[in-house]
Amino acid sequence: MDAAHAAALPVNGLTALQALEKLDLSRGGRLLITNGGGGTGALAIQLAAAKCIEVTTSPGTLSL
């Protein structure tokens, strides 16, 4: 793997984390994630679920 591809690996996780931090949802909050089956969406679902936030995704995508 070249350096450019390796450097791009954490971008989805960082984007998901920053978005959830910006929303500042508390335990028991509710969140709609469109494209939950994509790289950023899938990570956002996991991060939100770990904070006990109820997650809903758009139809046909990954959901918890």
Going residue by residue through the chain, which has 64 residues, state the pLDDT in tens, using 9 for 90 and above. Answer: 889 888 888 999 999 999 999 999 999 999 999 888 888 998 999 999 999 999 998 855 454 5
Q: What is the pLDDT of residue 63?
A: 47
Residue with tokens 């709609």: 32
Q: What is the pLDDT of residue 27?
A: 94
Structure tokens at 1: 């793997």
Q: What is the pLDDT of residue 60?
A: 53
Q: What is the pLDDT of residue 26?
A: 92
Residue with tokens 């690996």: 9
Q: Cβ contacts of residue 3 below 8 Å, gap of 6+?
A: none
**24 φ/ψ sector (left φ>0, alpha ψ -120 to 50, else beta):** left
Cα end-to-end distance, the chain, whole Å? 32
